[in-house]
């Protein structure tokens, strides 16, 4: 019996394969950590050939960076400066709640205590994207330092709520976490 | 030749032995991670018998908590509420700069991605101490949530500056990090 049209289309679609590889990469890095995760294992979970992973992402390090970079957050930065803190906070927390970003974040933490260079590359990629996005919103001279402090706040909240996952920060509603994170980001962005 | 008086006194002093064990524990946990660190190795580095470590701290978990808990920070909380954000920020950053707390923090992160229960116990111990200290300064109803957000800010700054140790946050002077962290803590504490 031939496969239904939609399934055949899907598996032939390069964008769908790319997404499948990124999803498999996030799950594998989070489960095994950066060092133990292999391209072979990621390809197997994504249901694609090893060569395709290398064709799309060239190296495990690049794949890790692509899988972990929270690109939607950066896209959501664009808009008015006054509303920026809440846009960033809700975009970040919502993606963490869905589990999508939480896996990458745990993988980042795990790799940061073993192989620092990968965690640094990832942070560098995120930082550059964030600074570029921030500059579209504000002509602030202090943009780089502000982006650093925004990242520090988001990392600290994520560590408490999703990695240690204990205590009041883990018990709060997503809305309360967004409100409290927004307050902190307002201080960074608006002084 | 007999040892000089001061050295003999030191090694007989239970408080000095306790400190030596805690120092050795911090170094060992940071280097090997929680799981691979053993009481035997810590005792060896501290120059004491294994039994003494167990006598003082009863278990590896308790030793980890005692080694990692930043007690000086909690002590420094006491004073006027207005000055609290700067006292906490400078106490934390200064201890991180000296490397004393940075080792514990790296050990905490490493254990949080492998054995979460220890990291949770430690966070619980720190949280209880911090809330008790905070209540001496303020009768705020929201004390618990504020302590959580203070811990999140400190963790986020520490992750960027001392663990990833890259980018502008790592390049800033300690004074600038203290100033920027103080600003964030002021938002948490004073609204």
Name the more confident of A135 and A11.
A135
Residues from chain B contacting residue A163 (CB–CB below 8 Å): 112-113, 116
Q: Does pLDDT of A124 surpass 80?
A: no
Residues from chain B contacting residue A187 (CB–CB below 8 Å): 183-184, 186-187
CB distance from B167 to chain A under 8 Å?
yes
Asked whether this complex has an ipTM greater than 0.90, the answer is no
Element (H, E) at A39: helix A39-46
123-152 in chain B: CB under 8 A from chain A:
123-124, 127, 144-145, 148-149, 151-152
Q: What is the pLDDT of residue A100?
A: 65
Strands (E), A19-176: none
Burial of A136 (0-12, 13-18, 19+ CB in 10 A): exposed
CB distance from B156 to chain A under 8 Å?
yes
Contact B113 A116 (CB under 8 A): no
Cα–Cα distance measured from residue A181 to residue B145, given in angstroms and rounded to the nearest whole number: 12
The region of weakest confidence among A21-25, A64-68, B109-113 is: B109-113
Average pLDDT over every residue of A96-116: 73
Q: What is the pLDDT of residue A2?
A: 47
pTM to 2 decimals? Answer: 0.76
- Is residue B168 classed as helix, strand or coil in its secondary structure? helix
CB distance from A187 to chain B under 8 Å?
yes
Cα–Cα distance measured from residue A153 to residue A142, given in angstroms and rounded to the nearest whole number: 17
Q: What is the pLDDT of residue B93?
A: 92
DSSP label at A164?
I
Q: Which two tokens stand for residue A150?
A: 């925004």
Residues from chain B contacting residue A148 (CB–CB below 8 Å): 160, 167-169
Distance from CA of A112 to the nearest CA of B (A): 6
Nearest to A164 by CA among A93, A105, A95: A105
Question: Which residue ranges in chain B fall short of pLDDT 70?
Answer: 1-12, 69-74, 100, 113-116
CB B121 within 8 A of CB B43: no
């Amino acid at each position: 019996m031939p496969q239904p049209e939609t399934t055949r289309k899907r598996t032939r679609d390069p964008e769908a394969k790319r997404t499948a590889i990124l999803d498999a990469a996030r799950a594998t890095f989070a489960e095994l950590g950066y060092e133990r995760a292999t391209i072979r294992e990621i390809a197997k979970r994504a249901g694609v050939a090893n060569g395709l992973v290398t064709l799309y992402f060239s190296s495990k390090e690049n794949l890790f960076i692509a899988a972990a970079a929270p690109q939607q957050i950066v896209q959501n930065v664009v808009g008015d400066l006054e509303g920026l803190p809440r846009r960033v906070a809700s975009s970040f927390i919502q993606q963490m709640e869905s589990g999508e970003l939480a896996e990458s974040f745990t993988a980042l933490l795990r790799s940061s205590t073993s192989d620092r260079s990968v965690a640094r590359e990832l942070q560098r990629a995120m930082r550059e994207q964030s600074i570029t996005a921030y500059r579209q919103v504000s002509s602030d001279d202090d943009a780089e330092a502000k982006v650093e402090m925004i990242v520090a706040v988001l990392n600290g909240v994520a560590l408490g709520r999703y990695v240690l996952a204990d205590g009041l920060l883990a018990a709060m509603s997503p809305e309360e976490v967004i409100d409290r994170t927004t307050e902190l980001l307002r201080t960074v962005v608006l002084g």
